């Protein structure tokens, strides 16, 4: 439980990874609404949602929450699209995994495919994290703060279990 002490302005960044992580973010947002009301009354907290599922992540949140929630889809690509950079990926993933990508381009609960989804979109994820940190520091009102980042996800699925250790 996050309870800031008097004068504390250190921002908090919650990163929800995969379906379970994004569901937890939704629960935290609901509790913030219940406790503090409008977003301008909230503590300094930013949200980042990463998922390889094709359904839009932004649809999981209320419209008014999207100012604080940054969604970053990290879908898998078809096996053929990985062939150009296969040498980069084959250092840590077996070739058979590239050809086991489901037709719906989801991780299907497989950890190596979750990591592949993250590595395929690493630049975009890095930029999103940097953006969330800078927004949190701006909301805190001082550059003299240390943002805390909490990663939320389940190691039982594909997306989070394959990405949490690399994030």
For 56-99, what is each residue's pLDDT tens digit? 666 777 777 778 888 899 999 888 888 777 777 788 888 888 88
pLDDT of residue 127: 96
Helices and strands (DSSP H and E) totals, the chain: 6, 4
- Could you tell me what percent of the chain has a pLDDT over 90? 39
Residue ranges of the chain with pLDDT lower than 50? 6
pLDDT of residue 152: 95
pLDDT of residue 12: 92
pLDDT of residue 1: 55
Long-range pairs of 38-43 with CB within 8 A, sequence gap ≥ 24 = 39/64, 39/65, 39/67, 39/68, 42/68, 43/2, 43/4, 43/12
Distance CA 81, CA 98 (A): 10
Report pTM: 0.86
Distance CA 153, CA 161 (A): 8
């Amino acid at each position: 439980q996050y309870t800031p002490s008097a004068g504390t302005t250190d921002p908090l960044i919650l990163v929800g990874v995969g379906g379970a992580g994004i569901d937890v973010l939704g629960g935290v947002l609901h509790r913030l609404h219940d406790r503090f009301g409008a977003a301008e009354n909230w503590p300094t907290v930013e949200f980042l949602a990463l998922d390889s599922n094709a359904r839009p992540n932004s649809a999981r949140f209320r419209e008014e929450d999207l100012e604080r929630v940054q969604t970053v889809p990290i879908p898998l690509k078809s096996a053929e699209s990985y062939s150009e950079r296969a040498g980069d990926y084959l250092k840590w993933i077996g070739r058979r995994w590239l050809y086991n990508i489901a037709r719906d381009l989801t991780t299907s609960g497989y950890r190596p495919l979750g990591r592949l989804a993250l590595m395929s979109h690493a630049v975009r994820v890095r930029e999103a994290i940097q953006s969330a940190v800078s927004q949190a520091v701006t909301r805190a009102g001082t550059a003299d703060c240390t943002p805390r980042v909490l990663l939320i996800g389940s190691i039982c699925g594909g997306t989070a279990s394959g990405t949490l250790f690399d994030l």
